[in-house]
Structure 1
Amino acid sequence: MDSINLEVLKSCAEWISVGRSCELITVIKTWGSSPRPEGAMLAICEDGTVIGSVSGGCIEDDLICRVRKEGITRRWPEIVTYGITADEAHRFGLPCGGTIQLAIEPLSHNSGIAELLKKIQQNELVARRLDLSTGAVSLGPASPGMCMQVSATAMTTIHGPRWRLLIIGAGQLSSFLAHIATGMDYHVTVCDPREEYRETWSLTEVEVVHAMPDDFVSEHKLDSHSAVIALTHDPKLDDLALMEALRSDAFYVGAIGSRGNNAKRRERLKLFDVSDVQLGKLHGPIGMYIGSKTPAEIAISILAEMTAVKNGIPLLDEARIEYAKRARHQPQAESLCGSSS
């Protein structure tokens, strides 16, 4: 599964390669409420075909209508603003007070889209600089903390996986988790020293490595854009990875297991000099409580919690598996006690 922006770039490269005119539209600024964040992209072909999204749909409709009526006639990049007035905001489906500014760029072989895709596929993080007056493009390395920058003369967008996810264990749950996380712009790597699990791995776009989990985590030099999830159910493997991850700057560290197993895991980790502060970073039982049962649902639960942590959203106790399950069973227990008295 590709991220939305990667699908946009691939469509652009395909249209350019067969000689079709197309434009790349990027959200560069928003005021008030906005359906799509800054950096969101949409590609539109000369026949009105679109890939990606910059709004809830109404702005896309306007862009399509203009292309079908006038064709693609721009020769240079142009900055366009929607929703300046209340009437226009209403017309384009923007919330009250919402305004969105777009950079519309006509593409050609000189736009560097094919080269950009090649670098992204090599897991490079790339800064693409567009000269807003001439349309000239240059590509260079970027760091995970870089954000899109726009001035009166240039726009620099960041492409490639800015977030890393290391998964310990190559089981079925790991496959669902890796598949979805890849679509969320994570660079996912799976570690499993067990040959029988590696041989059955079928997700070709995600690398599976044969290494001991603690060495694997240590070698990746985790930073604040990294997450580690341990899913083997084997303490000999999961605990090794968690020890290294909890001592790192990883923004999220989680492990599969029941409430009872999670408590035992914390006691084991203390024996290996993992401090209480470091243990406080451990998410377990892992995931947000949504009543998940199947591997796919559990993967969504885990990624929901991880996304909340990444975005700095505090989770209420009711959303945490440990508290939610306790709350669900408590009324039942009280009812049973009451009926027996």
Structure 2
Amino acid sequence: MEGKILKAVSDAVEKGIEVAVVTVLEVKGSSPGKEGSMMAVFSDGSIIGTVGGGALEYEIIQESLKAINKNSSCEKSFELTETGNLHMKCGGFIRVYIKIFAKREKLLIMGGGHLGAELYTLGKFLNKYVVIFDDREEFINKERFPKADELIFGKMEETVKNYSIDENSYIIIVTRGHENDKQCLKAILDKKISPKYIGMVGSKGKVISTYKELLSEGYSKEELKEIYSPIGLDISNSEPKEIALGIMAEIIAVKNKKIAIHMKDIRKIDVDNLI
């Protein structure tokens, strides 16, 4: 049964489903649960496995769902007495550990060209769930992106409209042209969602031109202020590898709510006064 539970957990995580794994650590006295018992609780409330059933298991499921919502693993203890929170007559005690397996962060790359390919490599290196969008068959196939989690072929502004995007998503718009970039951005803004990051490639002049067009079409200044464009940190030259690294560095800074500052400037080691 443990192997079945672990496989179900692995499959869920790969699909972006949050799950909690409950393991019984300690049992004292009479209890429906046994030490070492395991149960997986999925974000929709479904389960596989058991830690004893009944009121105890129901309470553990509720605590697991709370832990999933908080994205925080935890340890919980339950007194199985009439005066305990479960009002049970077993007279025992049980302690469990709830381990959370959160969604993998999704990296959505709009465009499978040279820059998109470099971003894909860095995304997989950072263990992101990488999705490539493109409307050119030669730029979106398993030979080019062998480890991509999803390859979405078709008109990009249309396919992204139907793609599930949430607050755990990071979107990079690097299509083959200015107009395609704009149309993809419009499609994403029209979804009225709040992903962690939306970045769009382009020079300052092209970005200003795009923003003016979007404002004239009814998009708000507040929406445009949330976009990272021109994209990336100013650390690269014109090589796709370095540009991609600057973009991923910006994404990591956003993810961790950091400002890109040299560590030497944060630590401020006074070399002159070292003995």
TM class by shorter chain equals 0.5 to 0.7
Indicate the SS of the match to 2:160: helix
Within-5 A mapping of 1:291-310: 291-310=236-255
Residue aligning to 1:173: 115
Residue aligning to 1:212: 155
1:252 corresponds to which of 178, 197, 205: 197
Give me the TM-score of the superposition, normalised by structure 2.
0.66
Residue aligning to 1:44: none
Deviation at 1:242? 0.8
Within-5 A mapping of 1:85-100: none
Within-5 A mapping of 1:263-278: 263-278=208-223
- Is 1:234 the counterpart of 2:177? The answer is yes
Deviation at 1:182? 3.0
Give the distance between the partners of 2:155 and 2:70, measured in 1 at CA. Answer: 32
Indicate the SS of the match to 1:229: strand
Deviation at 1:160? 5.5
Contact map agreement 1:149 1:156 (CA 8 A) in 2: yes
Deviation at 1:227? 1.8
Residue aligning to 2:12: 119
Contact map agreement 1:228 1:245 (CA 8 A) in 2: no
Contact map agreement 1:224 1:251 (CA 8 A) in 2: yes
Question: Unpaired segments of 5 or more residues in structure 1?
Answer: 1-107, 319-341
Within-5 A mapping of 1:82-231: 112-133=5-26, 134-142=35-43, 145-152=69-76, 153-159=95-101, 161-199=103-141, 202-206=144-148, 207-231=150-174
Question: Unpaired segments of 5 or more residues in structure 2?
Answer: 27-34, 45-67, 77-94, 263-275
Deviation at 1:119? 3.3
Give me the TM-score of the superposition, normalised by structure 1.
0.54
Percent pairwise identity? 24
- Is 1:287 the counterpart of 2:232? The answer is yes
Contact map agreement 2:16 2:104 (CA 8 A) in 1: no
Contact map agreement 1:262 1:285 (CA 8 A) in 2: yes
Residue aligning to 1:75: none
Residues 125 and 232 (structure 1 numbering): CA distance in 2 closer, same or farther, change over 3 Å? same
**Amino acid paired to 1:220:** Y
Q: For 1:231-256, what per-residue CA distance to the aligned partner results, in whole angstroms no more than 9, with x for missing partners?
A: 01413321122113234211211111
Give the distance between the partners of 2:217 and 2:158, measured in 1 at CA. Answer: 16
Deviation at 1:280? 0.4
Alpha-carbon RMSD across the aligned residues, in angstroms, is 2.8
Aligned length: 210
**Amino acid paired to 2:25:** L
Deviation at 1:275? 0.9
Q: For 1:168-189, what per-residue CA distance to the aligned partner results, in whole angstroms no more than 9, with x for missing partners?
A: 1111221221232234343221
Residue aligning to 2:32: none
Deviation at 1:127? 2.1
Contact map agreement 2:24 2:96 (CA 8 A) in 1: yes
